[in-house]
Amino acid sequence: MPHTARVITVSDRSAAGLREDRGGPLAVSLLREAGFDCGAPVVVPDGADSVEAALRAAIATGAGLVVTTGGTGIAPTDRTPEGTARVLERELPGIAEELRRRGLSDTPLAVISRGLAGIAGPATLVVNLPGSTRAVASGIAVLAELAPHVLDQLAGGDH
């Protein structure tokens, strides 16, 4: 049975219908290609409260992996990490570090992503990705390698 994933796009403009969400659908497509059961992305406006609420709703569905796109930078409205921190019980800084490291092959700006990764609820891996499609593609490639093992471990699997 495939692992379940959910994608949350964090963008004021996409939430208002002013810009097409390209990162969310790309993440969904790549997760499906990697063998995850993944529904359509949810789009929410920027802000810690909206991110927290969307994450809690996704976790409540029993999703094993929840990926956010957008809101990880340093703009005044970029508050995805703050909303994510409210739901994480254990951080996995190595995943966030690897996402930034791999992102450097696309842009030196990868180092200013403040994205987090960690465990929420009983068995959900939550990961913040930047909103660019290049960052989404690079990030999902990392998660396709790591997430199945993490989720198996959370379910009590052996090392």
Q: What is the 3-state secondary structure (H, E, C) of 88-135?
A: EEEECHHHHHHHHHHHCCCCHHHHHCCCCEEEECCCEEEEEECCCHHH
**Which CATH number characterizes residue 10's domain?**
3.40.980.10
In the predicted model, what is the mean pLDDT of residues 64-69? 98
Tokens at 2, concatenated: 């495939």
CB 117 within 8 A of CB 126: yes
Look at residue 159 and tell me whether its pLDDT is greater than 70. no
Say whether pTM exceeds 0.85. Answer: yes
In the predicted model, what is the mean pLDDT of residues 40-47? 98
Residue at 27 is within a domain: yes
Residue at 159 is within a domain: no
| Residue range of the domain that includes 54 | 4-154
How many structural domains is the chain composed of?
1
* Unique residue bearing structure tokens 């810009």: 19
CB 131 within 8 A of CB 23: yes
Reported as a single tens digit per residue, the pLDDT across 97-142 is 999 999 999 999 999 999 999 999 999 999 999 999 999 999 999 9
